[in-house]
Amino acid sequence: MSLDPHVLTDWFADRARDLPWRAPGVSAWGVLVSEIMLQQTPVARVEPSWHEWMARWPTPSALADATPADVLRVWGKLGYPRRALRLRDAAAVIARQHGDVVPSDVDTLLALPGIGAYTARAVAAFAYRKRCPVVDTNVRRVIARAVHGAGDAGPASTTRDLADAEALLPDDDEFAARMSVAMMELGALVCTARSPRCADCPVLDDCAWQRAGKPAYDGPAKPVQKFAGTDRQVRGLLLDVLRDTSIPVAKARLDLVWSKAGQRDRCLDSLLVDGLVEQTSDGLFALPGEH
């Protein structure tokens, strides 16, 4: 038998972090904002931004009315700024087509920009207390170890991963929703990637990985994420200049951030294509929507 929902949810009740988007009374919009911000960005960096964001844009329609420039400035250095634009686009759809209410239906959520398999189900489960499998990197790792006895999760496969998680959920909606957060929290706090704290694990006795003698991960090597010298770094440097000024800047100013002209120009072009940068009528550059 593996992963008793009661054991997990009891552990969660006892040990879970006190995160602001989990507080009682937080709106589905608040949950959605947190989920988007948490995509590839650590909790510690999200917390302050989430508070600022919710104070400024407490509803989808409020965000939809903001300029992309303001949205990108408040997003700041959370990373992957296209998320901020997509969240604003999603907010516009929610405001206009869903009566300013974040949808609770997974397929409706999936149709919104920036919302994929994980986020749609996270909103359904955490905001609307539904029984639906929520699979993020933490859950994948917990299941790989506790259920499959592997050292770590292999490459993601949405269909298989969802089925694995679904099989573990209890029937009751609220109970299943609590089990879903509990698995995520276990992966975040105990069953961590580098040095799992197995001594503190509530399901140690049910863990297939433990039983198998904690074999090392033997799947395909995970691709290494380079950053230094990549277009991602250059785009970040470019955007950093524009976030910092309310006045459009000349290209000569942007040219200062990176010495390789070809790469610099390619990155600026891609930012324009992505709608993260706008060129004014007089040929200057700025964040979109305020000139």
Q: Which of residues 75-104 bind DNA (CB under 7 A)?
A: 77-82, 86
47 is catalytic: no
Q: Which of 87, 177, 188, 287 binds DNA (CB under 7 A)?
A: 188
* Options 52-60, 167-175, 193-201, 277-285: segment touching DNA (CB under 7 A): 193-201
C-alpha 117/C-alpha 110 separation (Å) is 7
Q: Which of residues 46-75 bind DNA (CB under 7 A)?
A: none
C-alpha 42/C-alpha 288 separation (Å) is 27
Positive or negative: CA dihedral 27, 33, 36, 42: negative
Total binding residues toward DNA, as defined by CB under 7 A: 59
Q: Which of residues 153-172 bind DNA (CB under 7 A)?
A: 155, 157
Binding track, positions 223-252, relative to DNA; x by CB under 7 A = xxx-x--xxxx-xxx-xx------------
Residue type at position 162: L
- Cβ-based nearer residue to DNA, 142 or 147: 142
* Options 37-45, 52-60, 63-71, 244-252: segment touching DNA (CB under 7 A): 37-45
CB of 234 to DNA, least distance (A): 8
- Cβ-based nearer residue to DNA, 35 or 70: 35
- Interacting residue ranges for DNA, rule: CB under 7 A: 19, 21-22, 34-35, 38-45, 77-82, 86, 113-120, 122, 136-138, 141, 155, 157, 184-185, 187-188, 192-195, 222-225, 227, 230-233, 235-237, 239-240, 270, 276
